[in-house]
């Protein structure tokens, strides 16, 4: 069985997220543990933490198939010292929240270098990842590939490899592959999804794929843009996703839908689950 579900809302309480996922028939899911567009948020209440843990246990979810997403304000590659320190503090807070919820992994974007060289941005990202891991025992970090707009790093496997090479705690770091980002960055998951995944595995090994974001794309191959579409309604097309979910390597990772039409989530989950089980 594959472990698939959407990025569900945690509005009101993180403890509501598993309930919302279960209503959709999800076998895994993603969430934000705080407001993703704010620097400061209230601490997690102990009741919310205990209710979250009870709900995932009661509903049969395993922590390894739940993939929290870090907030959008964090920029691990920033050259600005003040922004970098704010990013670190927020990253640290979010990593701590993940461990409090007894989850394992946090998904984060590698960031943008803004000025100077991409190599400098990669180095800054690696350093921040290690700083967070040093402070939060037990946490794993999944760096998400990007579409490559502007000075954002992580759109090419070579860049992801360079980030990983600069990290001391390599055994606690892996990657989340987003299909729409791959397509935007020039990896043709429409025509050759197997080839793209095989290229990743040949470079990093299966153990470094910690999750996938399954999103169709509103924009064409190599556009360097990130515009998600519902499965089968975009320029990648449904067949690529049916191929991906049949892969043996994706059976033990969370597969997350970040598709824009929530009314289609249940249908998307059912079709991809059914395909993987055939």
Q: Which residues are catalytically annotated?
A: 37, 69, 72, 109, 144, 178, 181, 213, 226, 228, 258
- How many other CB atoms sit within 10 Å of the CB of residue 273? 20
For residue 215, the 8-state DSSP code is -
The closest of 266, 257, 270, 252 to 105, measured between CA atoms, is: 252
Measured distance CA(68)–CA(177) in Å, rounded? 15
Query: Nearest CA to 56 among 43, 265, 276, 48?
Result: 48
Strands 254-257 and 3-6: parallel
Contact 30/52 with Cβ under 8 angstroms? no
Give CA separation, 208 vs 17, 101, 125, 202, in Å: 26, 23, 18, 11
Structure tokens given for 211: 């999750």
235, 264 in Cβ contact below 8 A? no
Give dist(CA 140, CA 104) in Å, integer: 6
Beta bridge partners of 228: 217
């Amino acid at each position: 069985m594959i472990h698939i579900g959407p990025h569900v809302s945690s509005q009101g309480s993180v403890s509501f997220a598993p309930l919302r996922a279960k209503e959709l028939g999800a076998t895994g899911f993603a969430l934000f543990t705080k407001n993703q567009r704010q620097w400061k948020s209230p601490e997690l209440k102990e009741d919310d933490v205990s209710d979250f843990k009870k709900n995932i246990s009661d509903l049969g979810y395993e922590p390894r198939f739940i993939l929290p997403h870090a907030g959008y304000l964090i920029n691990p590659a920033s050259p600005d010292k003040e922004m970098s320190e704010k990013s670190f503090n927020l990253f640290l807070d979010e990593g701590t929240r993940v461990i409090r919820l007894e989850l394992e992994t946090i998904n984060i974007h590698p960031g943008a270098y803004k000025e100077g060289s991409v190599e400098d941005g990669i180095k800054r990202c690696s350093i921040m990842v290690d700083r967070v891991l040093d402070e939060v025992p037990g946490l794993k970090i999944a760096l998400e590939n990007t579409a490559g707009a502007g000075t954002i790093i992580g759109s090419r496997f070579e860049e992801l490899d360079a980030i990983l090479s600069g990290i001391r705690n390599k055994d606690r770091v892996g990657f989340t592959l987003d299909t729409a980002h791959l397509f935007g960055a020039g990896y043709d998951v429409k025509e050759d999804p197997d080839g793209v995944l095989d290229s990743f595995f040949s470079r990093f090994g299966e153990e470094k794929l910690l999750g996938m974001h399954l999103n169709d794309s509103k924009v064409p191959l190599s556009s360097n843009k990130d515009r998600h579409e519902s499965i089968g309604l975009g320029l990648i097309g449904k067949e690529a996703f049916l191929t991906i979910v049949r892969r043996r390597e994706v059976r033990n990772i969370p597969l997350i839908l970040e598709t824009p039409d929530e009314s289609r989530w249940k249908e998307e989950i059912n079709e991809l689950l059914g395909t993987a089980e055939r």
